[in-house]
Amino acid sequence: MTLDKSCVYLRGWRPEFNKIAFTALMREEVGVSLQAAKDLTDRLLAGETVIVWVRNLSSTLDQARSLGAIVLDYPRRQDAN
């Protein structure tokens, strides 16, 4: 089975950033463990640009923005096995 994934660039956060909900979003859409999702969130909070491959591009972008993440729109697609 082949799953399409898209690349999302996260470059920062706004004051209303919801860390807990964002971590849950990363778990679901990136498909990583709680610890890995927390690490992604902490890296974003530390000022790093975080690049992730997600299952549902449009939904992830909308949700990340609504949670206070600053998202760059440079989506790329890949076929993951």
Per-residue pLDDT of 33-70, as tens digits, reads 999 999 999 999 999 999 999 988 889 999 999 999 99
Q: What's the rounded Cα separation, in Å, for the pair 48 and 28?
A: 21
Average pLDDT, the chain: 89
- The pLDDT confidence band at residue 4, using thresholds 50, 70 and 90, is confident
In whole angstroms, how far apart are CA 56 and each of 7, 37, 40, 42, 60?
10, 17, 18, 22, 6
CATH architecture of the domain with residue range 3-80: 2-Layer Sandwich (3.30)
Q: What's the rounded Cα separation, in Å, for the pair 14 and 4?
A: 29
Q: What's the rounded Cα separation, in Å, for the pair 33 and 12?
A: 22
- The pLDDT confidence band at residue 75, using thresholds 50, 70 and 90, is low
> How confident is the model at residue 24, as a pLDDT?
98
- Structural domain spans, the chain: 3-80
- The pLDDT confidence band at residue 77, using thresholds 50, 70 and 90, is low
